[in-house]
Amino acid sequence: MPQHTSPVTLSVVTPMYNEREAVDHFVARLRPVLDGLGVTYEVVAVDDGSRDATVARLMQLREEWAQLRVISLRRNVGHQTALRAGLHSARGEYVVSIDADLQDPPEVIGEMLGAAREQDVHVVYGVRSDRSTDTVFKRSTAGVYYRVMRRLVGPWVNDQAGDFRLMSRTVVDVLNNLPEQNPVYRLVVPSLGFSSAEVAYVRAERVAGETKYPLSKMIKLTLDSVTSFSAAPLKIATWLGVFAFVLCVGLIIAGLIAWGSGTVVPGWTSLYIAVLLLGGVQLICLGLLGEYIGRIYAATQNRPPFLIALDTDTRKDNEPAEFASPSVR
């Protein structure tokens, strides 16, 4: 499958944001799995600008586990962009992305690698066969999100596939060369059309700590998802405009008839309702335009989506474990 051979067979990329409480559990469960695979591997732990002791703890754990590579971003850029930083840095022939909170069981990685090799496919999706451990809120919002995205992106988006997946070097190279500013990988990867397989798993409960996906981040992911695959919301403005225009014409005719027959048009209520309604509709439409223009603006600015403050693989051996002189890329 991958065209060139890399010294590392498998890279495991894990974005981490304030995961101090989960990181020990994660490492304790991941390591035996990877050691047992019998392949060369690296674990790329991407610290997404954590404000707790995640990095310090990772640096300690690294002393005992040479394959653990720590990449630290300068600030919090969000799950998808942290994942992007990890995909850019990963060197493996195969790359697995997995959450740090053990909701995705590491034991499944072996199955994914096996499926990729045996079935000769480029992508292996981890598919949640049971989400009962997620909150009702999470499940219902996720349900709506996936229903909408399947309509916008296409039927190949699996509503039970999140970001736990294995990809071949070919796929990762394609992703790394996308010029997109905010790729939503769970939608972009299936849309590329690479051969794929699925491995079912049961979504577990978060091992420790709190979810790092507050409503604001979920809304951002949804806006990125919709605007990166569809311009349909822009058309809503046109249809609302047509509707408002037709309504207005009707009102004008009604007003003229009332005026002609000498009855006084009752004034205020209808007037301010119309003004408020139209004002609201216009603001919504402007906001929708803004979402797209904002993304065009960001694309033309072309700022780096993330900055790496530290990558342990570029650190010289005699440097102290704390990142005294981080390598900036």
> Residue-wise over 68-80: b if at least 16 C-beta within 10 A, else e?
bbbbbbeebbbbb
Taking residues 13 to 52 in sequence order and writing x for each that binds ligand UDP by CB under 6 A, - otherwise, the string is --xxx-x----------------------------x----
Taking residues 156 to 195 in sequence order and writing x for each that binds ligand UDP by CB under 6 A, - otherwise, the string is ----------------------------------------
93 is a site residue for ligand UDP (CB under 6 A):
no
Query: What gap in Å lies between CA 145 and CA 225, rounded to an integer?
Result: 9
76 is a site residue for ligand UDP (CB under 6 A):
yes
106 is a site residue for ligand UDP (CB under 6 A):
no
10 Å Cβ neighbour count for 67? 17
Residue selected from 79, 122, 165, 169 as contacting ligand UDP according to rule CB under 6 A: 79
HSE (side-chain half, CA atoms, 13 Å) at 122: 15
CB of 242 to Mg ion, least distance (A): 43
For ligand UDP, the binding residues in 271-310 under the rule CB under 6 A are none
Residue selected from 12, 34, 55, 82 as contacting ligand UDP according to rule CB under 6 A: 82
Q: Residue 57's binding partner, choosing from Mg ion, ligand UDP, none, with beta-carbon cut-off 5 to 8 A by kind? A: none
Cβ proximity of 131 and 139 under 8 Å: yes
CB of 164 to Mg ion, least distance (A): 10
Q: Residue 17's binding partner, choosing from Mg ion, ligand UDP, none, with beta-carbon cut-off 5 to 8 A by kind? A: ligand UDP
211 is a site residue for ligand UDP (CB under 6 A):
yes
Query: What gap in Å lies between CA 87 and CA 308, rounded to an integer?
Result: 13
Query: What gap in Å lies between CA 36 and CA 195, rounded to an integer?
Result: 27
Residue selected from 11, 54, 72, 103 as contacting Mg ion according to rule CB under 5 A: 103
Residue selected from 42, 93, 101, 311 as contacting ligand UDP according to rule CB under 6 A: 101
Report the interface residues with Mg ion, using CB under 5 A: 99, 101, 103
Report the interface residues with ligand UDP, using CB under 6 A: 15-17, 19, 48, 76, 78-79, 82, 99-101, 103, 206, 211-213
